[in-house]
Structure 1
Amino acid sequence: MATSIMQRNNVQMLGDGSQTIIFAHGFGSDQTAWRHQVAAFAPNFRIGLFDHVGGGKSDFSAYSPRRYSSLYSYAEDLLDLCAELKLTKSILVGHSVSGMVSLLAALVEPDCFSQLIFLDASPRYLNDDGYVGGFEQSDLDTLYAAMSTNYYAWASGFAPIAMATQDKPELAAEFANTLAAIRPDIAQAVAKVIFQSDHRDDLPRLNVPTVILQASDDIAVPPEVGQYMADKIPQGKLMNIAARGHLPHISAPDVVTSAIAQCIAA
């Protein structure tokens, strides 16, 4: 069992310290996205890194569209990892979809986490009555169609918009490469699971202190979403950060590292 979880999610444990920080990546990305933060925190913390099944160097044979038809299965994987490594009261930093994955995990086993830090996360991407999610269903249908027509062309076009750093094309290229490393069938299925999910009703049930780090000009998460989560999570707090785009831990690493350090110190 031990090796299966460690291999399935390509788990890496680094650094020293009594407190553990688990970094969880978002869609189209992998654990290497956190390299700047790992370098900053490894001297004083134990660091847990992993790849969600279907991404990075995870075991692709562990992926099935049926098992991963909702975010709950990713939350189970996260709890498996915590149990295997006997991690309790960890700080979890979750980018994008990993925000809701960690929320679902914390609802089942709150003692696993002392604090959640969401980076550009969202409980629902679709607009609704009285709720700004950022997308209409027609927008998402267009996105799915583009992914299925030519996935690699879609990835190379989507990456620069998501990264939002026209002055650093190499960062968009990096994201395009991690997107392209995912099997197109898996990427399309996972994108639908994420973009069609709705976890708004779970927010008020979360009893772990949570900080929402919100960048500006994020294609996937408008600023209203960060405020919405801060209002709905009982111990939720919004921190707007001076960074643009959906992957600020890569595009503005010092800003994100400093914000995480503030959250932990508080």
Structure 2
Amino acid sequence: MRVRSGNHVLVSGQKDGPVLLLAHGFGCDLNMWRLVLPALEERFKVVRFDHIGAGRSDPAAWDPERYATLAGYADDVLAVCAEAELRDVVFVGHSVSAMIGVLAAIREPDRFAGLVLLTPSPCYIDDGDYRGGFSRADIEELLDSLDSNYLGWSAAMAPVIMGNPERPELGEELTNSFCRTDPKMARVFAHTTFLSDNRADLAEVGTPTLVIECRHDAIAPPEVGRFVHERIPGSRLVTLDATGHCPQLSAPEATAEAIVDFASAR
């Protein structure tokens, strides 16, 4: 199904069950949820979609100005919900999509029953006492490398993002996912992702929230998960005994269990 915004949407699981809306991170597509999907489909109506510029979304819907901020992606989330008539949604956002979900829930809080923020980061750049994991120079170097040689950057960075060097097939899968993304669109999304700062938005979240972090994550270290948890009123923090930034692939059973436990209580 393709909605008017151009996102490619798939619906599975329990037709009349409570709704889980799954949003992938930078360089990925809806296929990244496949290992947690069976456990989620047993209890929920599961809606997955590709962000514009990813997967099977409509390339004609791409607008570099619209997607220069995360607000453009949040608008798409709300459009998917509206067109599919989704209510009482538990939104599951991986990586940058965690903050996209935060923005959407602030905009239309009545639409959402819960937020699951999977390895989130509201700001990747260290700032005073805040540790985002990277210096500004690190991020500038990362983006310069991506701009000059996207495929080479993908091959080098994907295994770092994935972690789990003893399981090289995971890094290869993420590399291939990055390489399927149009480099022009990926560059814009990368700048939007790594230069975003949504720390001030966290206090505005009134939706019940679960923060899921990994014990070892090169992209979103534990200090970031704790920061998000402390800034969102009433949120819960779960630390998976897992490595890497993509636990839906590296630790799918534990990831699915955390999502199911939280969503079942909404």
Q: Structure 1 length as normaliser, TM-score?
A: 0.96
Identical counterparts, % of pairs: 38
8 Å CA contact 1:171–1:250 kept in 2: the answer is: yes
Distance between the aligned counterparts of 2:222 and 2:228, measured in 1?
Answer: 10
Does residue 192 (structure 1) correspond to residue 191 (structure 2)? The answer is yes
TM-superposed deviation, 1:216: 2.4
Any unmatched runs of 5+ in structure 1?
none
Paired with 1:71 and 1:168, the residues of 2 have a C-alpha distance of 32
Task: Say if 1:13 and 1:48, in contact at 8 Å, map to a contact too.
Answer: yes
CA distance in 2, matches of 1:24, 1:125: 19
2:170 maps to a residue whose letter is: L
Match runs of 1:110-259 below 5 Å: 110-259=109-258
C-alpha displacement of 1:4:
4.2
Paired AA for residue 238 in structure 2? M
CA-to-partner distance for each residue in 1:56-81, whole Å, 9 max, x for gaps? Answer: 11112211111111000100000000
User: What SS does the aligned partner of 1:221 have?
Assistant: coil
Shift of 1:235: 2.1
Structure 1 runs, 4 residues or longer, greater than 2 Å off: 2-6
Does the Cα contact within 8 Å between 2:3 and 2:80 map onto a contact in 1? no
Residue 15 (structure 1) shift = 1.4
In the alignment, is the contact (CA less than 8 A) between 1:12 and 1:49 conserved in 2?
yes
* Other structure's SS at 1:86 match: coil
Kindly provide the CA deviation profile for residues 188-208 of structure 1, in whole angstroms up to 9, marking residues without a partner as x: 111111111111111111000
Q: CA deviation at 1:9?
A: 0.8
Report the 3-state secondary structure (helix = DSSP H, G, I; strand = E; otherwise coil) of the residue aligned with 1:36: coil
TM-score between both structures, scaled by the size of structure 2: 0.96
Amino acid at match of 1:15: G
Gaps of 5+ in 2: none
Q: Distance in 2 between matches of 1:52 and 1:219?
A: 24
Find the aligned partners of 2:101 and 2:117 in 1 and give their Cα distance.
9
- Cα RMSD (Å) of the superposition? 1.3
8 Å CA contact 1:126–1:137 kept in 2: the answer is yes
1:95 and 1:118 in contact (8 A); partners too: yes
Counterpart in 1 of 2:13?
15
Conservation of the 8 A alpha-carbon contact between 1:208 and 1:235: no
1:134-173 Cα shifts (integer Å, max 9, x gaps): 1111101111121122211110111111111112111111
Rounded Cα–Cα distance in structure 1 between residues aligned with 2:109 and 2:33:
24
Q: Give the C-alpha shift of residue 3 in structure 1.
A: 5.0
Per the alignment, in what secondary structure is the counterpart of residue 207 of structure 1? coil
DSSP-derived class of the 2:217 partner = coil
1:43 CA drift (Å) = 2.5
